[in-house]
Amino acid sequence: MSLSLRQHRIVVTGGTGFLGAAVCAQLRQRGCELLFVPSHQEFDLIDTSAVERLFREFQPEIIFHLAAEVGGIGANRREPGRFFFSNLQMGMNLIEGARRHGLRKFIQVGTVCAYPKFTPVPFREEDLWSGYPEETNAAYGIAKKALLVMLQSYRQQYGLSGIYLMPVNLFGPGDNYDPLSSHVIPALIRKCVEAQQRGLSEIEVWGSGNASREFLYVDDCAAGLILAAEHYDEPAPVNLGANQEISIRNLVQLIVELTGYSGQVTWDHSQPDGQPRRCLDTSRAREKFGFVAQTTLRDGLISAIADYRAQVNSMTAFQ
């Protein structure tokens, strides 16, 4: 049974972030006027009393829970405890609040990091519990996976309508380019553009380049989340991806080409590759709510590179 989002009060946690901004933009395009984006300064979701105040003040009927403590391999290695506690606590507070306040629907964004390290490719949702996640981001992945269990348990005992979506690695305009916390695509874009601007003859990249990844354009992911909110209401988790696997080595070559960087690439084999392969089976999303990604990796990278260059030019103009 379809749910009309326009008629309901919607809260988007993390609504000013990378994915959240895209979700909010698309909800507004659909005519959702009762849309609320709580700021971290006003509503620290780790604080149970702040979450209770959020429910009292906004009186949401639908929540998209996108707020998260995230980062690349380096950030996950530095702060696994913070990533575990923060992500688990935020989700637990919100899901319990949803139960207590009779929420109409809860949309939880999970992570591909929850999958076992050696999951057969393409990753099928049924394989989620067949092993331990890749060690460098296991704390984050397990915290997110625990929220799937909580939603399924609350559906069974309390009748809470909660769904769980697992996007593959996201990219696109508005991404995080901070070298201390960024993921692979924005980190590589920044590295290549800066090297080009500074006339460097060489850039260094972590790992061997042999690992593979799949990437989903941020606007496509936002569209998938909204389609699921409207048309999906089952306890089983659902993958969101683009069906385009690429090795990190080939990804680097593509970003080098698209940025116009002409120097050499060296590989730091002392640094980890992370999970050996990532590529999702997205048939459930297609069959259950008609989601198919629309943006190719090349087209999305062109947009992301243009976005980063615009940010750099803007910062330079104010210096």
Q: Using alpha carbons only, what angle is made at residue 192 by residues 188 and 247, rounded to the nearest 5 degrees?
A: 40
How far is 96 from 154, CA to CA, in rounded Å?
A: 9
Please, what is the Cα angle at 252 between 251 and 257, to 5 degrees? 100
- Number of domains forming the structure of the chain: 1
**Active site residues per annotation:** 140
Q: Residue 77: inside a domain, yes or no? A: yes
Do residues 97 and 158 lie in contact, with contact meaning Cβ atoms separated by under 8 Å?
no
Query: CA–CA separation, 14 vs 90, rounded Å?
Result: 11
CATH number, residue 222: 3.40.50.720
Domain, as residue range, for 24: 5-175+215-245+277-295
Angle subtended by helix axes 297-317 and 184-198, to nearest 10: 50
pLDDT number for residue 9: 98
Angle (nearest 5°) at CA 133 between 172 and 98: 70
- Answer whether 217's CB lies under 8 Å from 171's CB: yes
The predicted model scores a pTM of 0.93
Query: What pLDDT is stored for residue 251 in this prediction?
Result: 97
SS3 call for 240: strand
The DSSP H or E segment spanning 257 is helix 248-259
307 in any annotated domain: no
For residue 1, what pLDDT is reported?
Answer: 66
197 assigned to some structural domain = no
Question: Count of H helices and E strands in the chain?
Answer: 10, 11
Tokens of 52: 């209770």
Give the separation between CA 236 and CA 125, rounded to whole angstroms.
8
CA-based nearest residue to 194, from 209, 177, 175: 177
Question: Going residue by residue through the chain (319 aa), what tens digit of pLDDT does each one get?
Answer: 689 999 899 999 999 999 999 999 999 999 999 999 999 999 999 999 999 999 999 999 999 999 998 777 777 889 999 999 999 999 999 999 999 999 999 999 999 999 999 999 999 999 999 999 999 889 999 999 999 999 999 999 999 999 999 999 999 999 999 888 788 999 999 999 999 999 999 999 999 999 999 999 999 999 999 999 999 999 999 999 998 899 999 999 999 999 999 999 999 999 988 888 999 999 999 999 999 999 999 999 999 999 999 998 877 665 5
